[in-house]
DNA sequence: TTTATAAAACCGACTAGGCGGTTTGTAAAG
DNA sequence: CTTTACAAACCGCCTAGTCGGTTTTATAAA
């Protein structure tokens, strides 16, 4: 077997093992020995591919980010034809996907945070770019962020095993978050936001485009 | 000094130390030795008050829950006079408080989850009761839950150090979540939910009560 | 193709230190 | 004098990371 693919296979096995361990035993049980055991590699083999445990977490994080990045891109490509706010739609759908997916990306997030909170910088920066895109396309940027926050809350609370919601409710709520029509009729009675009303009509027109 | 108050003081010192450690160094660094160091107690002293590390986490969790329980109760007592949905208002305000507070309760949650996911059962059950109360008082239960999820998302994402939002935005979004007037004009075009519309008028009247 | 050499992948025993928890000792409270 | 609160040394296990050695692949000269 080729050297490159051999490495690739090993790295992959180690990361898959890491995800399995986190999902099964919790982030606290993720150790290098456990990864070696679970993956079938020796500890030396694991350490050859990743010089430190932090390197494992980083690779894991990047892998999961790439996975959902692809999902998001793919979704947005389709949504951009019909939706007035494809970025928001894509993010909501991606968060739903993350909440549904068994080898949840977010578990990697938790593990990374426990081990080294600094690793959070990567996903945070990516998230900031996305938020900017969401705000720019939104008729009501704050409402868009609240819809995003709602999806995030559903994801994280279920991830923490502290969601009071059933799976059915979960799905229904995500669907409602995604449905633009349900969020178009909101008042913005506050004085500080009234100044923004000049931009609202154009946005409403954009929203209506979806109906066509 | 009285024996009871001596114990009380020690337990308190240990728990305060635990919070400080989690906030400063992350949940992964919370160890019994670290608690002893930080609190000024000896390790033996800590172990005398808490037989296991899990006992520390449990006490920490209960303490933080009690703290926010009190906040919530206090808030609801006032809100119930003016708001049509005091339970929701209280929860939103409590989540905002938790997001603002430096020694965040939720940090204890993370630590507990890492160490022993089963500990999550306590807060989850409490949360389910609250959700039930929120749904019962709501004209649009799903919307109420989405507002709750939005607050949860704001809290948890900032807690994870992965919030893309500034403090100002945070505050503004929480304020909007809390403002019933901003959520009263929503359409419910879905057929399955249309059956519920019979209860909506009463709820709208109740919401209007707040303005008076 | 064969052979020589280097380089990369991999193994598993080992180390040093941190971990949760125990034991033994001491002083204060009751 | 008994019990409770605390201190400090201690124990065995687990941890991340190291290291010398072995196997597999890559390069390339003969």
A131 contact B CB<8A: yes
Q: What's the rounded mean pLDDT across residues B108-130?
A: 87
Mean pLDDT score across all residues of chain B:
86
Residue B160 to residue A186, Cβ atoms within 8 A? no
A27 contacts on B by Cβ (under 8 Å)? 113-114
pLDDT digit string (tens) for A159-192?
877 888 899 999 999 999 999 999 987 655 444 4
Among residues B18, B5, B27, the alpha carbon closest in space to that of B46 is found at B18
B169 contact A CB<8A: yes
pLDDT digit string (tens) for B54-111?
999 999 999 999 999 999 999 999 999 999 999 999 999 999 999 988 767 778 888 8
Q: What's the rounded mean pLDDT across residues B9-18?
A: 96
B contact residues 137-166, partner A, Cβ 8 Å cutoff: 142, 145-157, 160-165
Is residue A62 over pLDDT 70? yes
Q: CA A113, C1' D26: Å apart? A: 40
CB–CB of B203/B84 below 8 Å?
Answer: yes
Is residue B188 over pLDDT 70? no
Q: What's the rounded mean pLDDT across residues B129-151?
A: 96
Please tell me the distance from the alpha carbon of residue B199 to that of residue B201, in angstroms, as a whole number. 6
Q: Which of A7-11, A33-37, A144-148, B109-113 has the lowest mean pLDDT?
A: B109-113
What are the boundaries of each domain within chain B? 7-51, 54-184
Is residue B118 over pLDDT 90? no
B contact residues 70-99, partner A, Cβ 8 Å cutoff: none
Is residue A64 over pLDDT 50? yes
Q: What's the rounded mean pLDDT across residues B15-38?
A: 93
Place of tokens 């022993």: B116
Look at residue B101 in the predicted model and tell me its pLDDT: 82
* Lookup: tokens for A212: 């066509």
Under the banding of pLDDT at 50, 70 and 90, the label for residue B26 is confident
Is residue A210 over pLDDT 70? no
Q: What percentage of chain B has pLDDT greater than the value 70?
A: 87
Is residue B45 over pLDDT 80? yes
Please tell me the distance from the alpha carbon of residue B132 to that of residue A49, in angstroms, as a whole number. 50
Please tell me the distance from the alpha carbon of residue B2 to that of residue A73, in angstroms, as a whole number. 65
pLDDT digit string (tens) for B138-148?
999 999 999 99
Look at residue A118 in the predicted model and tell me its pLDDT: 86
Under the banding of pLDDT at 50, 70 and 90, the label for residue A207 is very low
Give the Å distances, CA to CA, from A197 to A147, A204, B178, B187: 20, 11, 21, 20
Which CATH number is A7-51's, of 3.40.50.300, 1.10.10.60, 1.10.3720.10, 1.10.150.530?
1.10.10.60
Q: What is the pTM of this model?
A: 0.84
**CB nearest A156 (choices: B123, B148, B156):** B156
């Amino acid at each position: 077997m080729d050297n490159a693919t051999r490495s690739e296979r090993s790295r992959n096995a180690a990361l898959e093992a890491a995800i399995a361990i986190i999902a099964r035993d919790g982030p606290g049980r993720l150790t290098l020995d456990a990864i070696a055991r679970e993956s079938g590699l020796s500890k030396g083999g694991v350490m050859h591919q990743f010089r430190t445990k932090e390197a494992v977490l980083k690779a894991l994080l990047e892998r999961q980010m790439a996975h959902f990045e692809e999902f998001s891109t793919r979704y947005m490509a389709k949504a951009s034809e019909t939706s007035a706010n494809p970025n928001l739609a894509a993010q909501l759908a991606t968060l739903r996907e993350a909440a549904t997916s068994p080898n949840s990306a977010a578990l990697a997030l938790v593990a990374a945070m426990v081990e080294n909170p600094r690793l959070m910088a990567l996903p945070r920066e990516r998230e900031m770019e996305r938020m900017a895109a969401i705000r720019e396309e939104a008729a009501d940027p704050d409402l868009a962020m609240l819809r995003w926050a709602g999806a995030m809350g559903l994801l994280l609370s279920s991830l923490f095993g502290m969601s009071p919601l059933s799976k059915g409710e979960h799905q229904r709520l995500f669907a409602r978050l995604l449905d633009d029509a349900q969020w178009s009729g909101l008042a913005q009675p506050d004085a500080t936001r009234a100044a923004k009303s000049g931009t609202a009509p154009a946005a409403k027109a954009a929203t209506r485009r979806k109906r066509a």
